[in-house]
Amino acid sequence: MIEKFLEGNKSFIEGDFSENRDYYRELASGQKPTVLWIGCSDSRAAPERITGAKSGEIFVHRNIGNIVRVGDWNFATILEYAIKHLKVDDIVICGHSDCGAIKALASDAESDEAYIPLWLSNANQARAELEKTEQKPADPEAQKVWRRKLEEENVKLQIANLRTYPIVREAENAGRVAVHGLYFDLDTGELEKIA
């Protein structure tokens, strides 16, 4: 597989890179993205592909379940760099359909894994919120609809978690940053604003 990627890189150099040499030369001297994108690590939801963005337009942080963990120093450094140094205008949290993390969160089965359940505990409140109004149905087709609601509820929870960081609250209150919740549907390719 690595050979395929190396061949793909050669095609990139011969094509887009050569055709837009001035643009890439400018990128080589520094980045100026306008958006911090917090998305899922799922290989089917690559931000630049689903938005049509060019290299250098999106500063990306991805993890399992597009989670914003409260009090996470690693994540705080991303926020600080994006807001203070890159001066992004927007922060996006993007969820997506058929999310494996949300399937695990929705599952009632015991897990023998050590790290994934611990990480997903940062999204437990999304399920609790949804279950206040709608219990998980037994029917598999109805469960798919319910999981989509859970995927969207998780985006809303992660926005709330994002706003626990003082740097985000201050930038948002000063009008320097806008926060958005997006949802990508793998079946239709559509990206929509949900929060």
Which tokens hold the place of 132?
A: 């206040």
Nearest to 193 by CA among 161, 155, 167: 155
Measure the CA–CA gap between 86 and 84, rounded to whole angstroms: 6
CA distances for 6 relative to 9, 11, 43, angstroms: 5, 9, 18
Single-letter residue type at 187: D
For the chain, counts of helices (H) and of strands (E)? 10, 5
The answer on whether 99 is annotated among ligand-binding residues is yes
Compute the distance between CA of residue 139 and CA of residue 20 in angstroms, rounded to an integer: 52
Dump strand ranges (E) for the chain.
35-40, 58-63, 90-96, 178-184, 191-193
Q: Find out whether 85 is annotated in a ligand binding site.
A: no
**180 known member of a binding site:** no
Residue ranges for the known binding site are: 40, 96, 99
Residue ranges for the known binding site for Zn(2+) are: 40, 96, 99
